[in-house]
A and B are shown apart, each in its own frame.
Chain A
Amino acid sequence: MDVRPDEPEAIEGGATPGRPRPAVRGLGDRVFRLVVRAGGMAVLVITGAVGIFLTARALDALRVAGLKFITTQAWQPDAHRFGIAAVLTGSVFIALVAISVATPLALGTALFISEIAPARVKRTLISMVDLMAAVPSVVYGLWGLSFFQSHSIGVARWLATWFSWIPIFKVTGADPTNPLASRSVYTASTFIAGIVVALMIMPIQCSVMREVFSQAPAGEREGAFALGATRWGMIRSVVLPFGRGGIIGGTMLALGRGLGETIAVYLIISPLFRINIHILQTGSISVSSLIALRYSDSSALGISALFAAGLALFILTLIINFTASTIVAHSRSGAQSDV
């Protein structure tokens, strides 16, 4: 690219022929590079400005709260009592519920599309998964609020009745022996929000996994079959080991996406600023729904506090995303794929 044919002196008087010649650019190329570099700079300035502004405003609040920012559960910025202990763990709980529901579905669907589905429906199925990722989150939220919430109470009550000896399934205030007990203790919970978020993140996870599975080398697949493996034997010994990086990477990417989900969570949960490990019980909070909830009626310090919470979430997502892309890039299947 750098070698131009119209360089007579370089060709005729080249004392050292092997030395790379400096590129001579025309005016057009210089202008082109200038414009394109300006575009790159502009993007850097915009994204950098967001990051710097976010950090700067967050520092105002962090200076007030100090180290207590990490341990405080309440959110009362004007009383100088605020922290991310409840909101960030709430986000993480919702994302974890979402991941544990979405992973089996995504893995099964990805394996189905890449290994079982006949070739003629494969493209349609892939499109459907992509479409699922493009459905607006408010639509999922709407579905969760008006359909799923009321229909999942039975499941929640069953889990609470039989598995309450596991701390996360315990519901305080519920009385399983009383058939007329109020069902409202099971609504607006982390569990319901998590399942709605699961529907949103599942397609991302699924498409990363499917992409990686479809790259499993045909030679090794045929080798497994030739040694007498059944289809599942082949999947277990060739496809799954090959795609391990994609499975882990896709799951973490989806986790990052689930942490930032706002509207669906906002619509479903009822805010509770306390660490609530009982996922079936009413009351939860997440960073992004906190921001949507409190941005309008906040003082300057309140906004700073929201920025601090946003920054904490951003850093967490960033760590997860970079870990995911590193895992994918260093896995055997990640050499060609872009995640």
Chain B
Amino acid sequence: MSNTNTTDERDLGQAGDQLSTAPREESAASLPSMGVIGWARWFWRQLTSMRVALILLFMLSLGAIPGSLIPQNSVDELKVQTFKEAHTTVTPVYEKLQFFDVYSSVWFSAIYILLFVSLIGCIVPRTAQFVGQLRGRPPGAPKKLTRLPAYTTWRTDAGPEQVREAALSILRKRRFRSDMAGDAVAAEKGYLRETGNLLFHIALIVMLVAFAGGQLFKSEGGKLIVEGDGFANTITQYDDFKSGSLFDNDDLAPFSFDLQDFVGTYERSGPQRGTPRTYEARVTYAEGADGETKKKVIEVNKPLAVDGTKVYLNAHGYAPVISVKDGRGKEVYRTSVPLLPIDNNVTSTGAIKVMDGYKDRNGKKTQLGFQAFFVPTFAGDGQGTMFSQYPGLDYPVLALNGYYGSLGVDSGLPQNVYQLDTSKMKEFKDSNGDKLKKRLRPGETMKLPDGAGSVTFEGVDEWASFQISRQPASGWALTGAVAAIIGLAGSLFIQRRRVWVRAVRGPDGVTVVEMAGLGRSESAKLPEELADLAVALNTVAPTAPDPEPDPAPGTEPGQPAEEPAEGAEK
């Protein structure tokens, strides 16, 4: 509204000005003829114009789309890998376009940085202008009040000064900023709209800075812990660790915790049988190097918070306890081996690696490896496939097959602990020469052939994996968010409007009162408010007998007064 430059609006002169501090539209046609400075100024004005802000907003939303459809490194690197393997033709193109890292890509950053430069370039002058408006007075009445969107007039026997004084006090009582200027009273209300709008845009900047700061200084890592084990918050203890580029190792808060017990319950019956119902990780933790130990139950939505760091429960699974005896009957291995779930019923797979201490029948040192397949609830013999029927530990079965030789762990290459590299290993065979494999129940033992020892499935522990993350400045982000909503509500729900009351003595000596209102946008409320004001003023300055016909033009007698379509009231 404020930018329209029709003849009508020009008639209003200054009165319609500055109802908003939005930058004036300039046509792109007015290209500068000056040198570098001229161009720079032109470019700056373009960048901070509403039109460019709009286009940048549009580009921001378009630019965000690919990141939701193509796997992102920042979300799931494994998925990116799978995608790359499956789509070899588009992968190079996507890589060039940084489509696997959309939200940190050069082009996406360029869009939002430009947008925020534009935003700052827009806010600073707008704030200055608005402060100026607050200091100044509401602009004086335009010559022709009849031109305004809402208008009323009547004649009264009260004197013009008296009417103006009355109008001033009525308007002030309704908290209009009012001012007498010449033959008219000028009043304005709803400055909170502009305040809200500026607050909203500033809050956006606060949020962006907080978000960026959080990204730069954050740290985040995962740790899998079997019941009975623990974790101390140093970088070496993490299974995997990511951090922002300005993160420093000393930023890690000193604390430690032990997983005492993990409890999971699952839906027993119905169509959603097996759906998780509760996950609880019962831990003890200690702040600092030697703080006192406290107890805490970590649940999915209830992290443990220590000194700005939060520990989230991420996943859980089973860790069968395995013991291995060598050829001489000596126990050389006893560990809970965490296995990875591969389906919703926690069918799990993994590897058991006996690296040291095992000697074969002849007393020769070698290494053992077992491929493990575990189901917490076995379907039962006969129909039994090794796929779990239920995620709880109803009837655990562990299937093993074994290898001997070199595990290849010394090759220097990092190894996946859940997979066996059998390239330098030989399979154990049973007496028929087939692959040695066996399904074990807890307590059962599988003998290795030719006196090579035995493996026992001792029992089952549970493990839980935790995400330990520190995201600084999230308090600022929240503050910004709250300010943004408050500002937005002010900006959208409050009308900024002006009212003028002119009272002059007519040629016949009777005072003519004219009232008019102008809002930033056309609102059904503006005429209503003006009517209220008029009624209030009318009681002080009652209508004089009118010799002339009704002054309201354009009244169609046959047509009922019509309500405009109104939407949700704001």
Say if A and B assemble together: no
Binding site for A on B (CB under 8 A): none
